Each structure stands twice: as C-alpha cells, then as structure tokens.
A and B are shown apart, each in its own frame.
Chain A
Amino acid sequence: MNANVTELVVFALLFLAVSVMGFVAAKWRRPENIESLHEWGLGGRNFGSWITWFLVGGDLYTAYTFVAVPALVFGAGALGFYALPYTVVVYPLVFLVLARMWSVSHVHGFVTPADFVRARFGSPTLALIIAITGLVATMPYIALQLVGIEAVLKTMGITGHLPIIIAFAILAAYTYQSGLRAPALIAFVKDTLIYIVILAAVIYIPAKLGGWGSIFDLAKAKFAASPAPGDGITLNANNQLQYVTLAFGSALALFLYPHSLTGVLASKNRGVIKRNMAALPAYSFLLGLIALLGFMAIAAGTKGVVGANGKVDNNTIIPALFDQMFPDWFAGVAYAAIGIGALVPAAIMSIAAANLFTRNIYREYLRKDATDAEEARVSKLVSLVVKVGAVLCILLLDPQFSIDLQLIGGVIILQTLPSVGLGLYTRWFHKGGLIAGWVAGMSAGIWMLYMVPNPANGKAHFGGSAFGLSNLGIDTKMTIYAGFLALAVNLIVAALGTLVFRALKVADGPDVTSREDYFADEGDPKVKDLDLAASH
C-alpha cells in the first residue's frame, strides 16, 4: 500500500501543476479580447511551428494511444501494430490537403470543417450533416480519454468514478476560461513527460527482461500456445487486408476529426503546417515504441487489474507493467504522463465539438445574427456540456473496449471525406449526391459494425471494426476494415447521385470560395465577416 502512496503523490502533484497552468494559460499570448471563436477556440490563429508541433502531437497521440494500442498488441500481437503504418501514411497523405484547408479557412474565417462545406457547397443541410457527424464521432473519443485516466487510477488502487468526475470538472473549468490556449500550454508538459517515460521504458525494461530478442521470442511462444486464430507476432493470410485497410482508413479519417483540424487552423501560416507534416512523425516513432510495451508486458508476465465486473481490464496492462518495473516515483511520473495525456486531447476535442455546435447549429439555425462574443459564450457553455456527456458515456458504457468506440467513431467520420477532403480539390460533386453518399456510407458502416461479433467479451454485435467478407457471401475468413468499405459505398453513391441530380437539373448550391483562396497565405486579404447565413 505504501508503494501506491508514492505513486499517488507524484501523480497528484503533476496533475495539480498542469491544472494551474491551464488557468494561467488565459494570460499567455494574451489577446486584446478573448471573446471570439478565433481567440477562445483557435488561440488567436497565430501559433508557430513549435507550439503547433506540441499542440497537434498532444492532440493526436492521446491517452488512448498510451493505453489501448499496447493493450491490443498484448492481446493480439502484430495486428495492434497497425497504429504505426497508420501514422506513417497520414502525414504525406494530408501534406497538401491541410495546406489548402488552412488557406481557405484563413481567407473565409472558417472555424470548423462544416463551415467549409457550408461555403463550398452552399447547402445548410449538408453542413449540418457534417457537423452532427463530427459531434457524434468526437463524443466517444473524449470518453476514451477518461478510460486512460481511469486505467491509471485503477492501477494505483483507486476505484470508483468520483476522481474522474473531479478531474474532468477541473479540466472543464480551465478550458472554459482559457480556451485552446490551455491545452496548447499543457501540451508542452504532456509531450515532454511522455517522451521521457517512453524512452526510459524502452531502454530500462528490455534490459531487465533479457533484451528485445527474448521479449519477441516470449511473445511468439505465448501466441503460438493461444487458441485464438488471429494473433501472432506477424500477420496471417486472413488479417493482412484488415491491417492494411485499417491503417489506411484510419489515416484518411484522422484529419477529418474536428479536433485535428482545430490544431491545424490555429497555426499561423502554410509553412507551419508543412514543416509539421515532416516533424510530427517523431511522435509516430514514439507510438511504435509504445505499441511494443505490449510485448514487454507479455515477457514480464504482467497481469491487468481485475475490474469491478470480475474480469481483467486489459487497459490496465501498461500501467501495471510500469508499476511492476519502475521505482514508485517514476511509475507516478508515467501515470501522470498518461493522465495529462488525456487532458490535452479532451480539452481540444470539447472545444472542437463546441465550435461545431456554435457555428453550424446555433448560428445557422437559432441565431443568424450572433456576434463574435455571443459565439464565444455559447461555445464555452457547450464545451462544459460536452464534457458532462463524455463522463456519462463512461458511466453508462463498458469501458473495457474503449478502442472499439474509437474505431466506430472512425467509421462514422470517414463518411465526411467526400465533402470535406475531396471538396478541397473539386466542386464536381452535387450537394444532393454528397448527402445521398453520406446516407449510404453511414448505413453500410453501421450495418457492418453491427455484424461484427467480439468473441473476447461474448458480444454478438458492435464488437470491433474487422468486418468478415463472408458476410457478403464470399467464402473466406478474411476481414476488412468496415470504414474502408463504407467509404467506398459512400463514394460510389455520391458519384452516381451527382450524375442523376445533374441529369434531372436539380439546382446545386452556390460556391462562395474561389480558386485563389486555396493557396492564400499569412498576410493575404481575408473575407471579413463572412456571413454564412446571408447566402441562403
């Protein structure tokens, strides 16, 4: 029990320190007036390369990364390593796309992806669909961050939901006050702690376990002995397609999440974004190492903490490994890294969700003439509501399969790709075609997820994102990432729908962006006070 006290004290001190930082952040790079979404929601749209690197890194590589990816590697082996190719593929993939998104948003003052769709396709309905998709995909993602904190607290012997509620109440308070400046400042601490902990872990733990070779050999032996067909330290014939489509589909989805875009839009010019596309893979290297902690846990014979339901909680594997391997004070530091690692993305996600509500629902449908200050006020309140929602998610849903929640969110957010991603390149799609494609993609995606069982917990439906091709009448055990297939359905229907609507001469919406907008940079003129509501 003494051990837990040391861990807890270190954890609590670091947690308190960043909470203070969160409140102080309101005064950091202080604007004349924080009462607008450009200030509260995007930190003044003026972050340079370093701040953006910490902010976006802190945003994308979450507590989920720390806890769920190695837990998946621990349970399934090679398949869990998809997180690495996923984050290698994503940066070259979006290198040009994000620069365009930044430029057009800079010119028109967009704060959310739905703002862009509203202006590009002239359809309030399509924009609403994009906004709601973003909200629905983000909610479980915020909840996932709570799972990260909970896993750490459980390992320290603290049970019950009260500590999480307190942690989120503090987070909600300083996000309300400081907006995006809070996670931007805290990200420096979070990322530094994570780099220290992981580099220490990959040097110190293998030395104690007899080297990397022996770690992989022990993992191989464990998977060889297990009856599950899909595990192993390499892939098999049936899960390679799943591995590739999951990595590629997740890469396509990452920057469609509203919170990823928030970090991008907060940077001050195109160069900052492009430089970061080359520098952010440093986090991917870290992620690869984090994934391998799962194998170390196998080699060390780590046992997860038994949860309230009597089952072992796999999410506690990595905290338990730290507890087993590190001296108590350093385990406390590692736990704090995970805990703070949850706060940064949770803050950014709640800001992004709040901005979506304010810009694309409140301003579009409730108060067309809302002032900047009113928008900021609404966003601040909604960011509180969103956090309450996330806490409820955790209290009401089974947290053990947090990674699946995130995967479902990924399937959903991918359905915005034709409007948001392809929309940056072409206006060819008809707004009606895009809506039809979204409906088809969502239906297909949800149906596929419904068809996925999870033998590990006995669930018959929504057990993951690996869709068996046998469901389509193909005689095979191969699986594919449901989101990937759903996106294909979406694209086909959107294209066919566009042809049909054009043939029927159904009116398309106006496009208020121009070609030059997509290449504008810092200092170029902006369209002031773009009134999204005025163009009907």
Chain B
Amino acid sequence: MDRLLIHASEGSMTTGEPGRARSDRSPWNWLLVLPIVLPLLTFLFNADEPRLLGFPLFYWLQIAFIIVGVGCTTIVYRMTK
C-alpha cells in the first residue's frame, strides 16, 4: 500500500484539487448495501399471502425492491457527485 500512497502524493497526474487525493469514499455509499441485502433475505418475501392486485407476496415485494434499488443508487449518485 505504501507504494500506492507515494504515487498519490507525488501527484503523478495533474487533477482537480492539488494536494488532495481524489477518492470514492463517502458515508453515503453504505446506502448501497440495502438493495444488495434486501432481495437476498428470502424470509421477507417467501409467501403467497398477502396478495396485491392478485400478485402473491413473493412477486410483488421482489418487484418493489427494484424501487428501493433505484432510490438508493440515485441518492448515492446525487450526494457524492
């Protein structure tokens, strides 16, 4: 890792803010964990009832997770750009 840090401090490339290395770290990134974990928890959705518009829970809830995914990635993008 030392070697990498030396590279960064040398500023081998001229980039936006001099002296401060760019990074993709942000506390907002933790929000991405939610849509990764939710669809993998089968106990949340592995049932027929309750139904929504005729859809068993298994189907409508997993489709609803798409909205969670879009929401989380959009927020992270907006807050970190």
Determine if A240 is an interface residue (Cβ-Cβ < 8 Å).
yes
Report yes or no: A243 in contact with B42, Cβ–Cβ below 8 A: yes
Report yes or no: B62 in contact with A96, Cβ–Cβ below 8 A: no
Within 8 A of A (CB), among B31-56: 32-36, 39-40, 42, 46-48, 51, 53-56
Report yes or no: A519 in contact with B66, Cβ–Cβ below 8 A: no
Known: A234-B48, A248-B40, A278-B70. A516 touches B62 (CB 8 A): no
Q: Which single residue of chain B is at the shortest CB-CB distance from A86? A: B39
Known: A277-B73, A278-B77. A234 touches B47 (CB 8 A): yes
Task: Mark the stretch among A123-131, A210-218, A255-263 that contacts chain B.
Answer: A210-218
Cα A92 to Cα B30 with chains together (Å): 10
User: B residues within 8 A CB of A511?
Assistant: 3
Report yes or no: B40 in contact with A85, Cβ–Cβ below 8 A: yes
Chain B binding surface, main DSSP class: helix
Within 8 A of B (CB), among A76-100: 78, 81, 84-85, 88-89, 91-93, 95-96, 99-100
Q: Which one of A100, A107, A211, A212 has the greatest number of beta carbons of chain B within 10 Å? A: A212
Report yes or no: B13 in contact with A281, Cβ–Cβ below 8 A: no
Within 8 A of B (CB), among A22-78: 78
Chain A binding surface, main DSSP class: helix
Report yes or no: A515 in contact with B4, Cβ–Cβ below 8 A: yes
Q: Which single residue of chain B is at the shortest CB-CB distance from A78? A: B58
We find that the number of chain B residues with CB closer than 8 angstroms to chain A is 47
How extensive is the interface on chain A, given as a class? 35 or more
User: B residues within 8 A CB of A285?
Assistant: 63, 66
Report yes or no: B58 in contact with A89, Cβ–Cβ below 8 A: no
Cα A91 to Cα B72 with chains together (Å): 10
Determine if A303 is an interface residue (Cβ-Cβ < 8 Å).
no
Within 8 A of B (CB), among A169-184: none
Report yes or no: A515 in contact with B5, Cβ–Cβ below 8 A: yes
Q: Which one of A85, A212, A215, A277 has the greatest number of beta carbons of chain B within 10 Å? A: A85
User: B residues within 8 A CB of A278?
Assistant: 70, 73-74, 77
Cα A192 to Cα B5 with chains together (Å): 47
Determine if A233 is an interface residue (Cβ-Cβ < 8 Å).
yes
Min C-beta distance of A205 to chain B, whole Å = 13
Min C-beta distance of A214 to chain B, whole Å = 7
User: A residues within 8 A CB of B34?
Assistant: 92
Contact partner of A281 among B53, B69, B77, CB < 8 A?
B69
User: A residues within 8 A CB of B73?
Assistant: 91-92, 95, 274, 277-278, 281
Report yes or no: B74 in contact with A212, Cβ–Cβ below 8 A: no
Q: Which single residue of chain B is at the shortest CB-CB distance from A100? A: B24
Report yes or no: A524 in contact with B15, Cβ–Cβ below 8 A: yes
User: A residues within 8 A CB of B40?
Assistant: 85, 89, 244, 247-248
Contact partner of B54 among A91, A216, A275, CB < 8 A?
A216
Cα A525 to Cα B11 with chains together (Å): 12
Determine if A6 is an interface residue (Cβ-Cβ < 8 Å).
no
Q: Which one of A81, A91, A248, A427 has the greatest number of beta carbons of chain B within 10 Å? A: A91
Report yes or no: A212 in contact with B39, Cβ–Cβ below 8 A: no
10 inter-chain pairs at a CB distance below 8 angstroms, sorted by A residue, are: A84-B62, A88-B68, A89-B35, A92-B33, A216-B51, A247-B39, A515-B5, A515-B8, A516-B7, A516-B8
Q: A213-B54, A240-B42, A516-B11 are in contact. List 10 more A-B contacts (CB 8 A).
A: A84-B62, A213-B53, A234-B47, A235-B58, A240-B46, A274-B81, A288-B62, A514-B4, A514-B7, A517-B13
